[in-house]
A and B are shown apart, each in its own frame.
Chain A
Amino acid sequence: SCSSMRHQVLRISVDDEAQVQKVKELEDLEHLQLDFWRGPARPGFPIDVRVPFPSIQAVKVFLEAHGIRYTIMIEDVQLLLDEEQEQMFASQGR
């Protein structure tokens, strides 16, 4: 749906329990409308979070300010969703 336009999924790497707790603080900020695909667990365990476009900057600033490493796992969720739909329609067509 267009509501996932330019949503990104960040893969966050947490090195210690303090960083895990820091990311849990993010989880509590409801206004950011974050969707944790892999929730905060323990050090060394990747955390994946889907971030709506309006919140991306704030989340990245928060992570960088606390020295928490992250990569962009999915650049634009909507593009993947569109690909998935196209693949399904193409398969149904076949």
Chain B
Amino acid sequence: ARTTSTFNYATYHTLEEIYDFMDILVAEHPQLVSKLQIGSSYEGRPIYVLKFSTGGNNRPAIWIDTGIHSREWVTQASGVWFAKKITEDYGQDPAFTAILDNLDIFLEIVTNPDGFAFTHSENRMWRKTRSRTSGSFCVGVDPNRNWDAGFGGAGASSNPCSETYHGKFPNSEVEVKSIVDFVNDHGNIKAFISIHSYSQLLLYPYGYKTEAPADKDELDQISKSAVAALTSLYGTKFQYGSIITTIYQASGGTIDWTYNQGIKYSFSFELRDTGRYGFLLPASQIIPTAQETWLALLTIMEHTLNHPY
């Protein structure tokens, strides 16, 4: 596609096509969008984050990432759709314009580039990073068990061959470390949203411990509103709650670490599950999935704008 208007959002794309899309979007909206490289993956691929900003200096910001588990293709595809939506709605939708007039948005579409490339080349079902573990012939770490929040506890595996292998030490995966460094350097991220699929859930901390987060009531209320907004579009039913009470115990997770850093509005989505396709959600479902998820994201972003801390 030579413009983001001719780009096909209703199909899955390769890493190269998504990276091309980013460059085209930046070229089309140089005043609004810039592309940052926050690191390089284990296999040397650039790790890009799109920054949406209308000015200011180190404004409070919202982080959204998709694709940290590479086989969850509807999340990267939704990330591409979100990027286009942001450029379309800024200046058009008053509520969203108010958000971007006061907050920056960072969007990492392909959070696990090596894994994503591998799902296109070798194994569509690949989930983890592609790092090598000395002493094991198994490859990869679960990037959502590698964060320094209850690292190595229950709900993660010490077996390199497991899909939930937590890695040798916290932040051992460059894909995770790149985000950790970015968040610490920025210092002013107020909401962090990590997007997965599939289970139709909106989750908040904690996963590694049963202790409720100090802001549980507020996070629960935001989740309720966000899920209501999402469901209002196509009737897709979502559950919400803390990770450990809603699904299972999972240690070393992304939003447990971000919440422990003081980023109060830390959430994780699990997108659509039609009960028929699992990770192989048909491409025809990308846009409706992205549309409904955007309504939930808007709810969280508006709350972040209206409740500075």
Contacts and interface: CB of A to CB of B under 8 A. Distances in A.
Contact of B8 (A37, A48, A73, A91): A91
Nearest to A20: B248
A74 B8 contact: no
For the residues of B in contact with A, the DSSP-based class is loop
A73 B163 contact: no
A45 B278 CA distance: 14
B63 interface: no
B212 interface: no
B163 to A, nearest CB: 7
Given A1-B123, A87-B283, A74 B11 contact: no
Q: Max chain B CB contacts within 10 Å: which of A37, A38, A81?
A: A37
Q: Max chain B CB contacts within 10 Å: which of A50, A81, A88?
A: A88
Contacts of A35: 125, 163
A39 B243 CA distance: 13
B12 A84 contact: yes
Contact of A91 (B163, B247, B273, B283): B283
Given A35-B163, A80-B280, A81-B280, A91 B124 contact: no
Contact of B248 (A3, A9, A40): A40
B275 A50 contact: no
A41 B247 contact: yes
Size band of the interface chain A makes with B: 20 to 34
A81 B12 CA distance: 12
Interface string A55-94: 0000000000000000001100100110110011001101
Contacts of B123: 1, 3
22 contacts: A4-B124, A11-B275, A30-B161, A35-B125, A41-B248, A42-B248, A45-B247, A46-B275, A50-B278, A73-B275, A73-B276, A73-B277, A80-B277, A80-B280, A81-B124, A83-B282, A84-B280, A87-B283, A88-B11, A88-B13, A88-B283, A94-B8
